[in-house]
Structure 1
Amino acid sequence: MRVNQLQPLLDAVEPRFDAVDSPIDAGHAFIDGGEAHLSVVTIVNETVQLLVNASQMTQKKAFMFVNHGRLYFQNRSRGKK
């Protein structure tokens, strides 16, 4: 059988579909994301906290370095190495 012979047979079996309106608007998100607002105050606060923590760590390391140097020179003046 050729395609042109099958086509009339299949046309009789072809179902008819009616368009159904969707209950959901496809233009809007289906799942609500909640309150996902970008807060400038939160970003600034976290940035300031990061800078404060970094400066405190640097301050602590500088103190340890100075203290280590002081102990090193005290031991050298006493003749210890």
Structure 2
Amino acid sequence: MKKSFADKLVCPVDKSELKLQVFATNTDQEIIEGLFTCPTCKRYYPVIYGLPIMSPDEYRQFHLEQPMLEKWGHQISNGTPTPKFLLEDK
């Protein structure tokens, strides 16, 4: 995902501007792994294989996102999925 594209994304829930942490890029400086967070509603949206995962809460698959979050030192609130997919630092 190109940085210019990432800059245009907003939180799908409340339309707030997202913060982006980039964990891995390719040789063209495209984002391969990262994490969007919404400072307003506290939801997170991972970037996996260059694709932002911004599905509604009820369609999110915690078990698929957890390994990437753990790899970069994050966890879901209290270690279990929550309806709002809140993020905490380890």
Pairwise same-fold verdict (TM > 0.5): no
Q: Taking structure 1 as the reference length, what is the TM-score of the superposition?
A: 0.16
Q: Which has the larger radius of gyration?
A: 1
Using CA pairs under 8 Å that are at least 6 residues apart, name the structure with larger relative contact order, 1 or 2.
2
- Looking at secondary structure, tell me which structure has more strand per residue: 2
Q: Taking structure 2 as the reference length, what is the TM-score of the superposition?
A: 0.15
- Looking at secondary structure, tell me which structure has more helix per residue: 1
